[in-house]
Chains A and B, each alone.
Chain A
Amino acid sequence: MLEINNLHVKLEDEDKQILKGVTLKIGAGEVHAIMGPNGSGKSTLSYVLSGRDGYAVTEGSASLEGEDLLAMEPEVRAAHGLFLAFQYPVEIPGVGNMTFLRTALNAQRKTRGEPEVSAGDFLKLVREKAKALHIDADMLKRPVNVGFSGGEKKRNEILQMAMLEPKMCILDETDSGLDVDAMKLVSEGVNALRSEGRSFLVITHYQRLLDHIKPDVVHIMAAGRIIKTGGPELALEVEHNGYAEILAAHKLTEVQ
């Protein structure tokens, strides 16, 4: 599904290298988790994959189902099935949440050459998905994320994901800011979407989310690289011991 090879990324306007050779392969239907210390480059990876300005890829590649992701405009990546649930969802005053969802859904369908969803069908769909995430009608009417609480913003991201039905979902710290119940709701939302044709890359600091969304593979990212890859037990190890040991071990190998 998603294949990242030796990806090097620096800031466009600054001589600052952030990703220093990330390699990652996620097969169809797989769930991968990335953990790693603050500032290690996790969000940067998710932004670069979704096409945000301000970064320059200096080396390496990234592809979605064999197609070169990095050559596509952000909206084309979305239409190809890439979705990023933002670590910090953006407020858009003046644009209603419903309008936003419908515009996005129909824009993607148009790009793919599919017919638009009728107003009636859309309404039915959005009500059903919103209900499952305990998002009330008022939140749907309000401008996108404006005045939403931290947890409401995160649930709104998952609602968008549920509506857009992407193939490759990247969740950047969707669990942070969620209370215990909301975490369960969001996890259920994600699990409901799990299927053979859909893959997930879950960025998180906490093992707890991974109790709900069971990953197939866990990666540890540090200083712009994936330094360790393992099974779900790796997340438990981090939860108990922190990163010190892994980092130290990595430094040793680096020195060799």
Chain B
Amino acid sequence: MSAVSPKAAALALRLAELTLPAGLAAARAAAQARLAAAGLPAKRDEYWRYTDPASLTASDAPLADLFDAAEEVPLFANINRLKLVFVDGHFDAAVSDDLTLSGVEISRLADVPAGHWSENAYGTLEAAGQTPILRPLAALNSAYATDGLLIHVTARASKPISVIYLRKSEASDAILHHFIKLDPGAELTLLENGPAASRLNMVLEVDAGDGARFHHIRAQGLDHDRRTVSHIFARLGAKSLFKSFTLTANGILTRNEAVIEFTGDHAQAHIAGAAMGDGAFHHDDTIFITHGAEACESRQVFKKVLKHGAVGVFQGKILVKQGAQKTDGYQISQALLLDDDSQFLAKPELEIYADDVKCSHGSTSGAIDETALFYLRSRGVPKRAAQSLLILAFLADTIAEIEDEAIAEDIRARLESWLQGHED
């Protein structure tokens, strides 16, 4: 009798709680095989050194107290958008707009018909993203996701798609998976907003054709007890543009991974994150950018404001493959520690196999600038307001990655309201 490894045992336990949804059977089976080969992640895995995945891999999602969303400034309220609402991981057609938008075809993963284009797409970018580093929770997601959107963008979308994730249960355990396929020259802005579930496992695959443009603005909410693991997998064709910004406030555990690969020349990928953690907050941004084509530009800008024992993690890698000449790679990760209890752990990495490239990275952590604080106060700005101003200034570089000024202004307003509400 062969011994069962601890990883296989943990996986068996987890799978006992899951049922395989219908539809996309071949893609799901392939993902199951990837998951079986990888096993579930554990704290001793190098890639999970700074973040304990135990509560993300456990059979049952830990209970999470409900949070009154009314405490938050609404986002995107004045933006003309197609609103699609998920409640605890299930699409709610009653409160959503129709799935019709010019320049876009939208289907639901939960009722995908046979012969749908996604049969050849779903899970493929996730599968590609398993090398060189395994991402088992993403494979689990592809196999077992119960709902999500399959979006085919054929032209320039007439307005943004705004996905709203509500949480109404203390015990919701959601697995959501979106696939976005952008034809050459197509363009879409995706807005995501809300906690989604007590525990959320989210995958977003983005396949951008040549010259396509994709804007992604995500706000993960102030919900204190939620847990999230999310993966973005993007494949970028020649001259395409990919821009993603994530705002995270509280949340007991968040692991946001992004795996981006340039497959065509002269493309651009900017990925930014602003996180504000107060108290029991563990936020991990893990980024892997592969330059597999020439003259592409990648930019990672991640900033975290931490207090009362909050922990921030950043693992960011730029891999420049042989032949990816004229690569321009930039990475910055910074933390503002508002007290001595908070902690920032950063692991920036560059791996370069081409000789004509420009790559830089930097990481800092520090306290609020007392001299600047006094300067502001000496001009009559009260201490709290002065601190808020300096915090917003610290985060400004991340918000600057949002192209649409109205959306950026919304994000700024929400940050300001958090700062006002969170004064000590």
Contact = CB atoms under 8 A, between A and B. Distances in A.
Interface string B371-391: 110111111111101100110
Contact of B378 (A74, A92, A143): A74
B378 A53 contact: no
Interface stretch (B29-37, B256-264, B307-315, B392-400): B392-400
Interface stretch (A33-41, A101-109, A131-139, A185-193): A101-109
A104 B374 contact: no
A164 B380 contact: yes
A33 to B, nearest CB: 21
Given A92-B372, A107-B385, A51 B378 contact: yes
A120 interface: no
B370 interface: yes
Contacts of B386: 75
Nearest to A103: B381
B376 A92 contact: yes
Contacts of A94: 390, 392-394, 396-397
Contact of B375 (A83, A90, A93, A107): A90
A90 B394 CA distance: 16
A95 B386 CA distance: 11
Interface string A194-220: 000000000000000000000000000
A92 B394 CA distance: 10
A59 interface: no
A159 to B, nearest CB: 12
B380 A104 contact: yes
A179 interface: no
A74 B374 contact: yes
Interface string A53-74: 1000000000000000000011
B379 A111 contact: no
A50 interface: yes
Interface in B378-424: 378-383, 385-386, 389-390, 392-394, 396-397
Contacts of A89: 375
A107 B382 contact: yes
A93 B372 CA distance: 9
Contacts of B393: 92-95, 143
Q: How many B residues touch the partner, as a band?
A: 20 to 34
A108 B380 contact: yes
A160 B390 CA distance: 19
B377 A90 contact: no
Given A73-B383, A75-B382, A75-B383, A104 B392 contact: no
A78 B380 contact: yes
A89 B378 CA distance: 12
Contact of A51 (B377, B389, B397): B377
Given A90-B372, A95-B390, A160 B379 contact: yes
Interface in B354-381: 369-372, 374-381
Contacts of B376: 92, 100, 103-104
Given A92-B390, A95-B393, A103-B389, A164 B374 contact: no
Contacts of A52: 374, 378
Q: Which of B369, B370, B377, B385 has the most CB of A within 10 A?
A: B377
B375 A78 contact: no
A100 B379 contact: yes
Interface in B230-258: none
Contacts of A104: 376, 379-381
24 contacts: A51-B377, A73-B377, A74-B374, A75-B377, A75-B378, A75-B380, A83-B378, A89-B375, A90-B372, A90-B374, A92-B369, A92-B376, A92-B390, A94-B390, A94-B396, A94-B397, A100-B376, A100-B379, A104-B379, A104-B380, A107-B380, A107-B381, A108-B379, A164-B380
Interface of A: 50-53, 73-75, 77-79, 83-84, 86, 89-95, 99-100, 103-105, 107-108, 111, 143, 160, 164
Interface of B: 369-372, 374-383, 385-386, 389-390, 392-394, 396-397
The 3 residue pairs across chains A and B that have the minimum distance between CB atoms: A94-B393, A78-B380, A108-B380
Given A52-B374, A75-B383, 20 more contacts: A51-B374, A52-B378, A53-B370, A73-B377, A75-B381, A75-B386, A77-B378, A86-B378, A90-B374, A92-B393, A94-B397, A99-B389, A100-B379, A104-B376, A104-B379, A104-B381, A105-B380, A107-B381, A107-B382, A164-B380
